[in-house]
Amino acid sequence: MTTELLPSPAPVEAPQPRPRIFSGIQPSGIVHLGNDLGAIRNYVMLQWEYEAIYCIVDYHALTSTHDPAVMRQRTREMAASLLALGLDPERCTLFVQSHRPEHAELMWLLTTVTPVSWLERTPTYKEKKQNQPDDINHGLLTYPVLQAADIAIYKAGLVPVGKDQAAHLEISREIVRAFNNRYGVTFPEAEAVYTEAPVVLGTDGVRKMSKSVGNTIEILGSPDEICKQVMSMVTDTKRILRTDPGRPEVCNVCQMHRFFGDDWEEIQDGERTARTGCVDTKKLLAARIIEHYAPARERYAELMAHPAEIDGILEAGADRLKPLAQATMDEVRTKMGLR
């Protein structure tokens, strides 16, 4: 009788931790199409593959929102918007920046490795100086250091954002590099992750869609509001008559159709051959945006009717992050000679 050797059991592999990502969004109340196509779609998708941490950055918003009641309301609205658009608190951690005060402490420590000249050259700082000349507070200048701290405190390696954040993220990388050089490697230099629409143009068809410019399409607004905003969109400025052939490659309306339906080629062709007019293309886009976001709009209304549920999710998120944030702070304080 031969004795057969049993095959040795395959080594049991420990489950690999999912790589960590982080992103922040300001509690601005409204969510526009640029936020969704440029960033939130990635938040939703990446929560399945990554350990995803998403933060409503109220400390940042204090640089321009000064009414406490407005701040509270907008924070809740932003949380409800993100949840309505698909963030799942079972798959990701959603929390409010000020609920984890370690962000502010790390920011202070990082300011000590950050030359002021880096901050003064930030494009958004220069922009804000023009947009709110009567309120150039120090927070506007140090905004990128707080952003660096937001990402670094969780040692996130990837940051889903829109392209408008590229310069900020580059400064974040420089800041953590400066820290690592001085105190030893502590933080990863996080990389941006972009969607297929890293820059969504506003209804003017020229500038980035942005609340402060007032060229937004508010996706969770009423169908009437969405319709009005879409119908105000600037199309191909060289197409004067209905019979003029259009240039879909420069028409913002046509470009947006790419994300709402699988007949983009046909829509482009219709415009190119003047088979369809700009008004037709806009009406169709408005209808599709309204339809696409209808379930999110419904969910948003439900959530806003149950504020305690929203607050519970945010609180649980901040609690879950406490050990991680505190471990980083312990390490940083030790490395900097603070203990």
> Is-catalytic flag, 211?
yes
In angstroms, give the least distance from the CB of 161 to ligand AQP. Answer: 4
Residue 103 CB neighbours (<10 A): 24
CA distance 286 to 292: 10
* Residue tagged active-site, from 129, 211, 228, 283: 211
Rounded to a whole number of angstroms, the minimum distance from the CB of residue 123 to ligand AQP is 11
Q: Which residues, numbered 163-202, are part of the site for ligand AQP (CB under 6 A)?
A: 164-165, 198-200
Backbone dihedral angles phi then psi of residue 191, each to the nearest 5 degrees: -105, 150
Which span sits near ligand AQP by CB under 6 A: 28-36, 94-102, 137-145, 182-190? 28-36
Per-residue binding letters, 125-164, with ligand AQP (x by CB under 6 A): ------------------------------------xx-x
Instruction: Check: CB of residue 239 under 8 Å from CB of residue 247.
Output: yes
CB 81 within 8 A of CB 45: no
| Of the residues 91, 129, 155, 208, which one makes contact with ligand AQP according to CB under 6 A | 208
Q: Which of 34, 221, 270, 317 binds ligand AQP (CB under 6 A)?
A: 34
Known active-site residue 208: yes
Task: Report the run of H or E that residue 138 belongs to, with start and end.
Answer: helix 138-152
User: Exposed, middle or buried, 338 (CB in 10 Å: 0-12/13-18/19+)?
Assistant: exposed
Closest CA to 106 of 336, 305, 339: 336
Asked if 25 touches ligand AQP (CB under 6 A), the answer is: yes
Place of tokens 């196509």: 37
- Indicate the SS3 state at residue 195: coil
Task: Determine which one of 155, 163, 208, 283 is catalytic.
Answer: 208
Greatest CA span in the chain, whole angstroms?
94
Write out the two tokens for 86: 């698909």
Which of these segments, 24-32, 69-77, 86-94, 328-336, binds ligand AQP (CB under 6 A)?
A: 24-32
- Shorter beta-carbon distance to ligand AQP: residue 150 or 164: 164
Whether the Cβ atoms of residue 52 and residue 46 lie closer than 8 Å to each other: yes
Q: Is 271 in the site for ligand AQP (CB under 6 A)?
A: no
- Specify whether the CB–CB gap between 229 and 259 falls below 8 A: no
Question: Which window, 34-42, 225-233, 283-291, 312-320, contacts ligand AQP (CB under 6 A)?
Answer: 34-42
Site for ligand AQP contains 47 (CB under 6 A): no
Q: Which of 82, 84, 94, 209 binds ligand AQP (CB under 6 A)?
A: 209
Instruction: List residues near ligand AQP by CB under 6 A.
Output: 25-26, 28, 34-35, 38-39, 161-162, 164-165, 198-200, 208-212
Which residues belong to the active site? Answer: 128, 208, 211
